[in-house]
Amino acid sequence: MAIGEVSLTGAMRANLVSLQQTAQLMGQTQERLATGRKVNSALDNPANFFAAREHTQRANLLNGLKDNISEAIQTVKAADKAVTAITKLIEGLRGQLAQARTALGDATSSGDLLNGITSGYNQMVNQINNLVTDSTYKGLTFLVSATTLTVNFNETSTTQLIMSGFDGSAGGLGISGGSASGLGTLASADIATNNDIDGVEASLNAALATLRRESGTLANNLTILSVRQSFITDMVNTLTEGADKLTLADTNEEGANMLMLQTRQALGTTSLSLASQAAQSVLRLF
């Protein structure tokens, strides 16, 4: 209906405008109570709306980085488990050499004993190489020198950790023996004297030193990844909390507002009825 088609008294029009404003405020309050937010669009508060959206977007990006960090942690853990297993196998190799020393000191020992010792030794060396193959996580292992893994710590990729692998095979560790080691298979002639055994044992000691060094590197990387993962979790919570503080409504306050608006609406309706009584008095003339 066009304005002016129906003439209202000044009092009635004032009451009508007040009721319209009250209805608008009630709609806004109902939306806040329904969504739990005082800022639901840029129209409510442009500054808070866009600031909160920026916080939320960054939090989502950081959450994505957490998944990548989690996968990197598992890759490091898989490599560390393999290093521990390889270390145990090398200790087993040292035990084989100890048996060989005992056999050399026993005049009654036969060549078959040394052959049996070297056979067990070579089998253990081959298992070292198998462990390298089996230590992959999602097709990646840090026991291969060509492995490189970059883990980003922020949404702009300006902070990161670059991790490199090492050759954890028997050949890479410089261990004598094993048909797949690249150094040839250990034969009984290779441990025919104590000096020969000393040489093989020296390669095992060097391999253990390499594993200790690389294990320390893996532990350092694991610490960095775990700390950054925890930090990102805290940062996401901080960003989410900041966004909520900019947009969340106080439900107690909005509930009180709704009660007051309902009261105001009831009073406005009564006031409008009273304002119309002057016009209704004309009917008494007929």
Give tens-digit pLDDT for 238-249. Answer: 999 998 888 767
Task: Give the pLDDT confidence of 49-96 residue by residue, as tens digits.
Answer: 888 889 999 999 999 899 899 999 999 999 999 999 999 999 999 998
> pTM for the whole thing?
0.74
Long-range contacts at 171-176 (CB < 8 A, ≥ 24 apart): 172/145, 173/86, 173/128, 173/206, 173/207, 173/210, 173/211, 174/203, 174/206, 174/207, 174/210, 175/90, 175/93, 175/125, 175/128, 175/203, 175/204, 175/207, 176/200, 176/203
pLDDT band (50, 70, 90) for residue 182: very low
Superfamily the domain 48-246 falls into: f41 fragment of flagellin, N-terminal domain (1.20.1330.10)
Cα–Cα distance for residue pair 39/156, rounded to 1 Å: 28
Minimal CA–CA distance to 167: which of 134, 198, 141? 141
Amino acid, res. 51: A
The confidence score (pLDDT) of residue 57 equals: 92
Cα–Cα distance for residue pair 218/161, rounded to 1 Å: 12
286: exposed, middle or buried (C-beta count within 10 Å: 0-12, 13-18, 19+)? exposed
The confidence score (pLDDT) of residue 267 equals: 75
Helix 46-105 vs helix 194-247: crossing angle, to nearest 10? 170
Report yes or no: 96 and 124 within 8 Å, Cβ to Cβ. Answer: yes
Long-range contacts at 157-161 (CB < 8 A, ≥ 24 apart): 161/72, 161/221, 161/224, 161/225, 161/228
Distance of CA 107 to the CA centre of its chain: 62
Neighbouring residues of 256: CB distance < 8 A, sequence distance ≥ 6: none
